Amino acid sequence: MSDIDSDKWLEAMKSEMDSMGSNQVWTLVDPPKGARPVGCKWVYKRKLGANGEVTAFKARLVAKGYTQRPGVDFEETYSPVAMAKSIRILLAIAAWYDYEIWQMDVKTAFLNGFVEEDIFMDQPEGFTVVGEEQKVCHLQSGSSIAYLVLYVDDILLIGNDVKMLGDIKAWLSTQFSMKDMGEASYILGIKIYRDRSRRLLGLTQSSYIEKVLKRFKMEHSKRGLLPMRHGIKLSKKQSPKTDEELKRMSDIPYASAVGSIQYAVQCTRPDVAYALRLTSRYQACAGKAHWDAVKSILKYLKRTKDMFLIYGGGELILEGYSDASFQSDDDDAKSQSGFVFKLNGGVVAWKSSKQDTTADSTTEAEYIAASEAAKEAVWMKNYIQELDVVPSIAEPVVIFCDNNGAIAQAKEPRSHHRSKHILRRYHLLREMVSRGDCRMDRVSSAKTQRIHLLSRCRKSLILNIWIRWV
Cα atoms found within 13 Å of the Cα of residue 314, Cβ hemisphere only: 20
pLDDT at residue 115 in the model: 53
Picking from 462, 463, 277, the residue whose alpha carbon sits closest to that of residue 354 is 277
Length of the chain: 470
Distance CA 361, CA 327 (A): 9
**314-469: CATH number:** 3.30.420.10
DSSP 70: B
Strands 186-187 and 146-151: unpaired
pLDDT over 90 for what percent of the chain? Answer: 44
pLDDT at residue 382 in the model: 93
Distances (CA, A) of 211 to 55, 156, 216, 217, 258: 16, 24, 9, 10, 14
Distance CA 111, CA 128 (A): 20
Beta bridge partners of 325: 336
Q: Judge residue 354's burial from the number of C-beta atoms within 10 Å of its C-beta, 0-12 exposed, 13-18 middle, 19 or more buried.
A: middle
**Low-confidence stretches of the chain (pLDDT beneath 70):** 1-3, 23-24, 33-35, 50, 65-80, 107-120, 122, 125-126, 128-129, 131-143, 413-426, 445-451, 458-470
- In 3-state terms, what secondary structure has residue 398? strand
Distance CA 121, CA 129 (A): 14
Distance CA 352, CA 337 (A): 6
Tell me the pTM: 0.74
Neighbours of 225 (CB within 10 A): 16
Under 8 Å between Cβ of 320 and 397: yes
Picking from 159, 250, 258, the residue whose alpha carbon sits closest to that of residue 215 is 258
pLDDT at residue 11 in the model: 86
Please, where are the H alpha helices in 98-184? 162-175
Q: Judge residue 128's burial from the number of C-beta atoms within 10 Å of its C-beta, 0-12 exposed, 13-18 middle, 19 or more buried.
A: middle
Distance CA 458, CA 461 (A): 8
Strands 120-121 and 136-139: antiparallel
467 contacts: CB under 8 Å, gap ≥ 6: 271, 304, 307
- In 3-state terms, what secondary structure has residue 336? strand
Neighbours of 145 (CB within 10 A): 18
pLDDT at residue 349 in the model: 96
Neighbours of 131 (CB within 10 A): 7
Distance CA 114, CA 154 (A): 19
Picking from 274, 269, 270, 266, the residue whose alpha carbon sits closest to that of residue 232 is 274
Beta bridge partners of 401: 442
Domain ranges of the chain: 6-188, 216-303, 314-469
pLDDT at residue 343 in the model: 95
- What would you report as the CA-atom Rg of the chain, rounded to the nearest whole angstrom? 26
